[in-house]
Amino acid sequence: MDVSLLGIFVTVAIAHFLALLSPGPDFVLVVKSAIKNNGKNAIGVALGIASANAVYIGLCLVGVGSILAASISVMIGLKIIGGLFLIYLAIQALRARKSSYNDLDIADPTNASYVKTAFLKEFMTGFMSGILNPKNLLFYLSLFTVVLTPEVGFAFKLALGIWMTVMVFLWDLSVIFLLSTNKVRSKFTKVAFYIDKVTGVLLGLIGFAIVKSALMKQ
């Protein structure tokens, strides 16, 4: 690999990793799903979030990302819809009864219908959270415009895009597996109801802040 390309890769890798370390609504959703679902179903959230990131990376690669980011109405619309979606998730979490958390460890993972439905639900939740977060678009757009200059070939940009998508998935996957181990899960299951309420409040606050900031810009 060319020295200049290696430098670009290292720069992008560090910036992307630091972004992954920054807690946001996606991270809260991953924790929430890992606590409330078994590991296999929670993977749906991670895959959904990674897929949403892949969509924005793809848009940036073909130049559509800059067009979307330049449209104030589109960005405001994304913020409002995304914020309302997080508020909806928060309400769902806060309305859940304590009795619904009693069978977290006894749901039948061999039930194909149950597994498929739960996985798809988690996938769509993760995807909607990621795709309705305009910060994801702006982050990748900034990387592709500031770091990846026109002189950098499309193949290298594509490889970086694939790498970043995989890293998003693996990062969320590591969090899920950590919280899904028997030792950790047995402890968290006892307080899953309260953890879900806390994550619900956090999602609600984040959603409210996003909607408020979007409306103030109108």
CA 48 – CA 58 distance, rounded (Å): 15
Band (pLDDT 50/70/90 cuts) for residue 132 is confident
Statement: residue 165 has pLDDT above 90: yes
The highest-confidence range among 95-104, 127-136, 150-159, by mean pLDDT, is 127-136
CA separation for the pair 56, 34 (Å, rounded): 25
Q: What is the DSSP letter of 146?
A: I
Chain-centre distance for alpha carbon 46: 7
**By the 8 A CB rule, do 96 and 89 touch?**
no
pLDDT top residue among 168 and 40: 168
Does the pLDDT value for residue 91 go beyond 50?
yes
pLDDT confidence of residue 107: 47
As a whole number, mean pLDDT of residues 159-170 equals 92
From residue 144, alpha-carbon distances to 15, 152, 175, 183 in Å are 12, 10, 27, 42
Lowest mean pLDDT among 87-91, 120-124, 158-162, 188-192: 188-192
Q: Residue 124: pLDDT band by 50, 70, 90 thresholds?
A: very high
Residue type, 36: K
In the chain, domain spans = 29-216
Output the pLDDT for position 143.
78
Q: Which of 10-24, 74-88, 145-159, 195-209 has the lowest mean pLDDT?
A: 145-159
CA nearest neighbour of 48 among 205, 206, 172: 172
| Exposure b/e, 60-73, CB count within 10 A at least 16 = b | bbeeebeebbeeee
Of residues 38 and 173, the one with the higher pLDDT is 173
Predicted confidence at residue 106, as pLDDT, reads 44
The answer to whether 93 and 199 are in contact (CB under 8 A) is yes
Which residue, chain included where needed, has tokens 């859940």?
96
Asked if residue 112 has pLDDT above 60, the reply is no
Helices (H) and strands (E) in the chain, counts: 10, 0
